[in-house]
Amino acid sequence: MENVVVEINGPLAEVIITRPKALNALNYATLEELKSVFSGFAENSEVKVVIITGSGEKAFVAGADIAEMKDYNVLQARTFGRLGQTVFSLIEKAPQVVIAAVNGYALGGGCELAMACDMRLASTKAKFGQPEVSLGVIPGFGGTQRLPRLVGKGRAKEIIFSGNMIDANEACRIGLVNRVCEPEQLMDEARALAADILLRSQTAVAFAKQAINTGGNMDDESAFFYESELWGACFSTEDQQEGMDAFLNKRRPEFEKKK
């Protein structure tokens, strides 16, 4: 791959978008590479947590590649938009926990990529926005749907309709970002969070992600029923036996040793 680097260390994978001269903008080739990476993760039971970030100091992903799509016709634009939506849905539905480490500009497609992840950690230098209306278009990689679900319709409309950027602290205040840290600490913070998650039952974490993501698209009664089904399914697992036995015997659970 030319635009994406993948580093795997046991159960942790790091995905780095590497187009620094273009501020890591998402062109067709980069989206195809991300699609290949996350399609592979869908079949990889060894990787449990993925951290995604951008290379360089200026940008996570500055957006979609405007130079590439400027002269698209309607059909080409729809195809490109659907590719972005497909890739980001793969990320959102990945069996792994996916953490975005946002190190700089996360604009347009970059903000949409971050929102497809389970959590977002941002450096103090990060900037977020959906500036598409300044280009005569709308967010096309899921931004009109994910942003309102994260921050509410009113705030999402303000961000999308104005096209203005917000800084990391404001993004954290409105719930777009989980936490903010100094740039030099960003990857350490992301790895520490990944390490915390990896201490837990990975079966339970996967079930919890499934309950949150799937239940969020259901009515309340159906969502509660779905949660109860997954809750019950936990009691068929070795992790449930190990976790509760460890609690009762006042010891640390050792989930991986039970595999």
| Domain of residue 165, CATH code | 3.90.226.10
Active site residues: 112, 132
Calculate mean pLDDT across residues 12-37.
Answer: 97
Asked if 188 and 209 sit in the same domain, the reply is no
At 184 the pLDDT is 97
At 258 the pLDDT is 52
At 197 the pLDDT is 98
Calculate mean pLDDT across residues 127-144.
Answer: 98
- Determine the Cα–Cα distance for residues 15 and 3; give it in Å rounded to an integer: 10
Query: In sequence order, what are the residues at sequence separation of 6 or more whose Cβ sits closer than 8 angstroms to the Cβ of residue 176?
Result: 115, 120, 128, 147, 150, 151, 166
Asked if 192 and 206 sit in the same domain, the reply is no
Q: Who has greater pLDDT, 156 or 57?
A: 156
Q: For residue 259, what pLDDT band results from cuts at 50, 70 and 90?
A: low
Q: For 167-183, how does the pLDDT look when each residue is reduced to its tens digit (9 = 90+)? A: 999 999 999 999 999 99
Q: For residue 37, what pLDDT band results from cuts at 50, 70 and 90?
A: very high
Asked if 37 and 88 sit in the same domain, the reply is yes
* pTM over 0.75, yes/no: yes
Determine the 3-state secondary structure of 57 from DSSP.
coil
Asked if 237 and 170 sit in the same domain, the reply is no
Of all residues in the chain, the percent with pLDDT exceeding 90 is: 98
Its domain, for residue 148, covers: 4-198
Asked if 10 and 88 sit in the same domain, the reply is yes
Asked if 116 and 175 sit in the same domain, the reply is yes
